[in-house]
Amino acid sequence: MDRPDPNLGKIVVAEDVLQERIRELGKEITADYSERAPLLVGVLKGAFMFMSDLSRAIERPVEFDFMAVSSYGSATRTSGVVRILKDLDLDLTERDVIVVEDIVDSGLTLAYLRRNLAARNPRSLEVCALLVKDGLQTTDLDLRYVGFTIPPEFVVGYGLDVAERYRNLPAVYEYTGSSPQ
């Protein structure tokens, strides 16, 4: 980029801090799953970059699957009704599942996903969320692994977008442009 993007505010999580924390999360998961090969379930599209780096920080055999759900742009925020746009390819029966999420805002998406995946009889079901917005969750989400707790402002970068842009930024930025949703 030649000029700074006027829609980007301050850096919320810098690239080196992000990568260091992901290495730590990888170590934790490696230790916790020493006897098991976890199935990482990535929530598209936002989690693709985190999933990629996290998986390389886990020194265990892992398997991958992806799910796509509708988030903003519908009535999701208020209703908690989430639409599955792409379902998993794999059967979860007796699997040790780790849901890999980019960001938890109200927590409604994750609460729905957890219920939905738990009904498929996995042996275990944990959540690894890179970012959690401070104080906005209405239900107890039982997040086993959390990267960072951040202030409740709209952010982009490292997989997170506005209208499909900014996903390739290597750090997380505050978005200061208009109408992000």
Instruction: Give residues in contact with ligand 5GP (CB under 6 A).
Output: 46, 71-72, 77, 102-110, 154-156, 160-161
Among residues 32 and 100, whose Cβ is nearest to ligand 5GP? 100
- Concerning whether 105 is annotated as a catalytic residue, the answer is yes
HSE at residue 179, side-chain half, CA atoms within 13 A, is: 2
Among residues 72 and 118, whose Cβ is nearest to ligand 5GP? 72
- Per-residue CA distances from 65 to 22, 51, 62, 76 (Å): 19, 10, 10, 23
Q: Which of 89, 105, 134, 140 is catalytic?
A: 105
Least Cβ distance, residue 104 to ligand 5GP (angstroms):
5
Among residues 93 and 179, whose Cβ is nearest to ligand 5GP? 179
Residue among 8, 14, 6 at smallest CA distance from 158: 14
- The residues that are catalytic are 105
